[in-house]
């Protein structure tokens, strides 16, 4: 049963975290500093005040536009803020304890990585490596995998995709898989243990295949050079894959 007050606190924390994470998604790939400089309108350059920075509400009240110049506000802000609010509400609403905090952090980071990979085919070490660290520190509060299973999962997840990436490059003469994907799968192994990795990979591959079929159905060309955001699919499949592994193996990762 979800608890209302922890869910509200989780939603509030998620909306605030989502505001910062959306800024990361928009600024980082452009080489702009995330921590330096105050938030400003991309249209007129006006420095935004507190009234402009209330997650979700400010953009809603301003109808998605700057109140000075009328330039549209990137809808990614609201979407990420809402997504993080939902994740926070569910995580802390169902688990108002350190485990719930762990689930919230996991969800927020996976959402950020999924959007970055979908938009830019980029999984930065500055996010995947802390995710792995949290798997060893916060993960034990959230999942029942042993520390040994987490260590094996982190190593196996990383090496599995690393070997595939090297093998593809050796046989085809070009990169086919980014090392960020390997680091992400290793981080998921640190969270869920090695037992969950086959299920996560299976679900991620299935979602990826369905996305390719959907693209082909629109008439767009798909060939051997078409890029697919595997990291985004891994992020989507992470929790369902762990849940499926828990059911089919009787727990333990």
Cβ neighbours, 10 Å, residue 228: 17
The pLDDT value given to residue 47: 64
The pLDDT value given to residue 99: 96
Q: With 70 as the cut, is the pLDDT of residue 87 above it?
A: yes
Nearest to 58 by CA among 107, 86, 22: 22
Instruction: Give per-residue pLDDT as tens, 97-141.
Output: 999 999 999 999 999 999 999 999 999 999 999 999 999 999 999
Distance CA 36, CA 33 (A): 5
Distance CA 86, CA 108 (A): 10
First to last CA, the chain: 23
**Structure confidence at residue 253 as a pLDDT band (50, 70, 90):** very low
Instruction: Give per-residue pLDDT as tens, 157-177.
Output: 999 999 999 998 888 887 878
SS (H, E, C) the chain: CCCHHHHHHHHHHHHHHHHHHHHHHHHHHHCCCCCCCCCECCCCCCECCHHHCCCCHHHHHCCCECCCCCCECCCHHHHHHHHHHHHHHHHHHHCCCHHHHHHHHHHHHHHHHHHHHHHHCCCCHHHHHHHHHHHHHCHHHHCCCCHHHHHHHHHHHHHHHHHHHHHHHHHHCCCCCCHHHHHHHHHHHHHHCHHHHHHHHHHHHHHHHHHHHHHHHCCCCCCCCCCCCHHHHHHHHHHHHHHHHHHHHCCCC
Instruction: Show Cβ contacts of residue 176 under 8 Å, excluding neighbours closer than 6 positions.
Output: 165, 168, 169
Instruction: Give per-residue pLDDT as tens, 24-53.
Output: 998 898 887 666 666 666 656 556 655 656
Instruction: Give per-residue pLDDT as tens, 214-223.
Output: 888 888 887 7
What Rg, from alpha-carbon coordinates, does the chain have? 19
The pTM of this model reads: 0.90
More confident residue, 240 or 250: 240
Instruction: Give per-residue pLDDT as tens, 206-239.
Output: 999 999 888 888 888 877 778 889 999 999 999 9
**Could you give the percent of the chain with pLDDT greater than 90?**
64
Distance CA 16, CA 229 (A): 27
């Amino acid at each position: 049963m979800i608890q209302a007050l922890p869910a509200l606190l989780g939603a509030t924390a998620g909306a605030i975290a989502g505001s910062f994470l959306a800024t990361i998604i928009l600024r980082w790939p452009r080489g702009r500093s995330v921590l330096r400089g105050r938030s400003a309108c991309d249209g007129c350059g006006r420095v935004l005040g507190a009234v402009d920075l209330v997650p979700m509400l400010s953009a809603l009240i301003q109808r998605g536009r700057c109140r000075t110049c009328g330039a549209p506000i990137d809808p990614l802000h609201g979407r990420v803020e809402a997504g993080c609010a939902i994740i926070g509400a569910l995580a802390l609403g169902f688990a108002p304890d350190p485990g719930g905090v762990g689930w919230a952090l996991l969800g927020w980071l996976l959402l950020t990585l999924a959007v970055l990979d979908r938009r830019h085919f980029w999984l930065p070490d500055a996010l995947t490596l802390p995710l792995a660290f949290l798997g060893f520190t916060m993960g034990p509060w959230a999942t029942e995998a042993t520390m040994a299973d987490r260590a094996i999962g982190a190593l196996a997840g990383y090496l599995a995709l690393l070997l595939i990436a090297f093998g593809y490059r050796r046989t085809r003469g070009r990169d086919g898989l980014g090392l960020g994907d390997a680091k992400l799968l290793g981080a998921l192994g640190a969270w869920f243990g090695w037992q969950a990795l086959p299920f996560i990979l299976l679900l991620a591959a299935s979602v990826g295949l369905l996305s390719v079929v959907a693209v082909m159905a629109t008439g767009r060309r798909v060939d051997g050079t078409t890029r697919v955001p595997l990291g985004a699919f891994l992020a989507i499949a992470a929790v369902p894959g762990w849940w499926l592994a828990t059911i089919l193996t009787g727990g333990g990762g």
